[in-house]
Amino acid sequence: MKIDIQNVCDKKMVTREDGQIINRILTEHWDKTRKFHIDFGNLLIASVSFIDEAFGKLAMCHTSEDLKQKLVFQNMVPYDRRLLNDILISRLRQQTLETRNACREAKKNGIATA
Amino acid sequence: MVLKYPSHIVVATSNRVLSYSQTARQTQDDKIIFDLSKTHFLTPFGIVLLAGTISECLSQNKKVQYGPPENEETKNFLSGIGFHEFFHLPLKKQKIENSHVQLRRLTSIDYLLTQQIVEVFDNAITMSEGLQGSLTMAINEIMTNAFDHSESEKGCYVCAQAYTNLIRLCVADFGVGLYAKLSPKYSDQIQDSYGAIKLAIKDGVTTREFGGLGLGWIKRLIKVNGGQMSILSGDGKAVWDFRGSRTRLKKQTMSLPFTGTIINLEINKDKETLYFLIDQEGQIF
């Protein structure tokens, strides 16, 4: 599945709310999609809020192996790639049994968290 | 009421100028004179604080009078960044060098302003890609925080200046302040405004359901950069100073609590560093 950040967010700047939209798309299609190709169009995002909402949330629920297997980040500027890695590692460290259970519950209830 | 401002309106004189601001906002006097005649140096901190305070007083229907700096250079500088125009003061707009960004009041996040600040600074001092990204991130996060958490009716004030080797950026909101915002959820962890400021920069601390990474990231940027970050809110002030070989966290208690939050950054010009510290082997993507 291809996700074009600029198309989804419909502008050249992204917000926390845009991150929530991306996260919802990923969450809804997570189980039935083999790979997500996420295209940043070489746009500098530089937003912790956006990247955390869109992808950091996923790291509260999934392992780094799962993330690596499912997500492919394309045309991402080096700065954003570092920011993404930093946020994912930070969130993976915060992952606990409790957060994983919360993710499962939310999924069962159809709430988009991850 | 006459408020005679000091020669320097900078973070270091914050105790005095914040108490002026709070006094002006709380006084029952219907006429306030902001006397800047002796002022000859203002950083973005001083500019946003003055702009916000004067705006607050005007919105309370107080009569505001303004005594401009006697120092021509300072007066022209204030005119150049749009300070006088901001309050419709009859002082001629001056042209200034392009290392300054016009004073702005924002009522919502303005990413174009972020772009503009970064472009102006890049023209003035030529920034590395890493610093451009970091600065963009810092401005976006501070604005996001101001609009997510401050509950400020008037939005926030932003001002930025580039010097030869330094960028100063300040964002001030006149909202509820960090302690009021965080204490309902984190009452067991904070006792005062200083505690709220320290807690606010910890990863994962947020009044939202999810989030709370932004300020922590900015602190890391400042740390790697060897700069300085000051956060002032309520009667608390915390300054993270990474400029010397020893990191210092300075705590100060303000004599008069300031209603709102001010975040002031001093970032060094740096041609090389990308501001992220993760272990390269630990990278996922």
Chain A residues whose beta carbon lies within 8 Å of the beta carbon of residue B136: 44, 46
We report the CATH number of the domain holding residue B175 as: 3.30.565.10
- B6 within a domain of the structure (yes/no): yes
Residue B153 belongs to domain spanning:
2-272
Question: Does B108 reach chain A within 8 Å, measured CB to CB?
Answer: no
Chain B residues whose beta carbon lies within 8 Å of the beta carbon of residue A82: 274, 276, 278
> Rounded to a whole number, what is the distance in Å from the CA of B217 to chain A's nearest CA?
8
- B176 within a domain of the structure (yes/no): yes
What does pTM read for this prediction? 0.86
pLDDT at A114 over 50: no
State whether ipTM is beyond 0.85. Answer: no
For B112-146, give one letter per residue: b (16+ CB within 10 A) or e.
ebbeebbebbeebbebbebbbbbbbbbbbbbbbbb
> Rounded to a whole number, what is the distance in Å from the CA of A7 to chain B's nearest CA?
18
Best CA proximity match to B237, nearest among B37, B43, B45: B45
Q: Where are the domains of chain A?
A: 2-108
- B119 within a domain of the structure (yes/no): yes
Residue B212 or residue B65, greater confidence: B65
Q: Over chain B, what is the mean pLDDT?
A: 87
Chain B residues whose beta carbon lies within 8 Å of the beta carbon of residue A84: 285
d(CA A67, CA A108): 20
pLDDT at A66 over 80: yes
Top residue of A83, A89, A96, A105 to mutate, by most chain B CBs within 10 Å, is A83
Task: Write out pLDDT tens, residues B133-190.
Answer: 888 888 988 888 888 778 888 889 999 988 888 889 999 999 999 999 999 999 999 9
- B33 within a domain of the structure (yes/no): yes
Count of structural domains within chain B:
1
Chain B residues whose beta carbon lies within 8 Å of the beta carbon of residue A73: 285
Q: What percent of chain B has pLDDT over 90?
A: 50
Helix (H, G, I), strand (E, B) or coil at B284: coil
Locus of tokens 């002006």: B24
For chains A and B, count residue pairs whose Cβ atoms are closer than 8 Å. 84
